[in-house]
Chains A and B, each alone.
Chain A
Amino acid sequence: DAKTTQPNSMESNEEEPVHLPCNHSTISGTDYIHWYRQLPSQGPEYVIHGLTSNVNNRMASLAIAEDRKSSTLILHRATLRDAAVYYCILRVALGGSQGNLIFGKGTKLSVKP
C-alpha cells in the first residue's frame, strides 16, 4: 500500500480555517484518498474522500493536487470540537481486494479559543 506523510501536529485558532497537508508521492492511479479523524476517547470517524477532483461535504473540503502526489484537508472554520487526530489514508479502488484501512500516526490538531 502506498504510504502517506503528515505533520505530527498543528495548531489553529477557533473560527479560522485550517489546512491539513498530506503527501503521498507513491500514489497509484487507482488509489482513493480518504480522511478520517479521531476525537479524544472515541473511535475514528470518516471525514471525506476523493480520487482526482476536489470534494466538498458538510464537514470539510478536500483539495487534491493535479499530480495527485499531495492533498489538503480544509476545515473552513475550526471549532473546539474539531480538535482531533486527522488521518490521511490511501485505498485501492478494486472492490473486495482491500478491506482494511492503514493508519499512520496522523496529525494532531489543537484548536485554541
Chain B
Amino acid sequence: DAGVTQSPTHLIKTRGQQVTLRCSPKSGHDTVSWYQQALGQGPQFIFQYYEEEERQRGNFPDRFSGHQFPNYSSELNVNALLLGDSALYLCASSWGPSGGTDTQYFGPGTRLTVL
C-alpha cells in the first residue's frame, strides 16, 4: 500500500517564477492538506482540499493556490516566487471530515529553493 507521494523531490526556481508541486494521497484517503516548513520551524498550514474544493485556508497570500482532482490527487501552485518561499512543502492526506480524532499521513515533502 503506497503512502503519500510527492513530486518533485527537489526544485530550484528564481524569483518571480511560478511553481507547481504535486501530491498523491494514501490509498483510500480523500482529503489533502498542504503545509510549508521553513528551516528550523514546525510546519505551517496552507490549505486543505476535500471533494475538489478548498475547505480551509491558513494565513497565506493568494499567490498560493491549489487544486484537487477527481482521483483525490492535488497540486499546489505558487506564483511570483519570493526568496522567502524557500521551504519544504509537505502534503498530508486523511479520510473524510477532519476533527479531533483523524490522523494525517504526510509525504516526504518537496524541497523548494528560490534564488
Which A residues lie within 8 Å of B103 (CB)? Answer: 46, 49
A101 touches B43 (CB 8 A): yes
Q: Is B98 an interface residue (CB 8 A)?
A: yes
Minimum Cβ distance to chain B for residue A108 (Å): 10
Q: Is B84 an interface residue (CB 8 A)?
A: no
B101 touches A49 (CB 8 A): yes
B107 touches A100 (CB 8 A): no
Which B residues lie within 8 Å of A30 (CB)? Answer: 100
A43 touches B42 (CB 8 A): no
Bits for B12-29, please: 1 = Cβ < 8 Å to A, else 0: 000000000000000000
Minimum Cβ distance to chain B for residue A85 (Å): 8
A106 touches B42 (CB 8 A): yes
Which B residues lie within 8 Å of A42 (CB)? Answer: 108-109
Which B residues lie within 8 Å of A100 (CB)? Answer: 33, 45, 48, 56, 58, 98
Minimum Cβ distance to chain B for residue A97 (Å): 7
Taking a contact as CB atoms closer than 8 A, the residue among A45, A94, A97, A99 that contacts B33 in the complex is A99
Which A residues lie within 8 Å of B33 (CB)? Answer: 99-101
A98–B48 alpha-carbon span in the complex (Å): 10
A-side interface residues toward B, CB under 8 Å?
Answer: 30-32, 41-46, 49, 51, 85, 87, 91-106
Q: Can you list 25 A-B pairs with a CB-CB distance of less than 8 A?
A: A30-B100, A42-B108, A43-B109, A44-B92, A49-B100, A49-B101, A91-B99, A92-B99, A93-B99, A93-B101, A95-B97, A95-B98, A95-B100, A96-B99, A97-B99, A98-B98, A99-B48, A99-B50, A99-B56, A100-B33, A100-B98, A103-B42, A103-B43, A104-B42, A106-B42
B-side interface residues toward A, CB under 8 Å?
Answer: 4, 31, 33, 35, 41-45, 48, 50, 55-56, 58, 90, 92, 96-101, 103-109
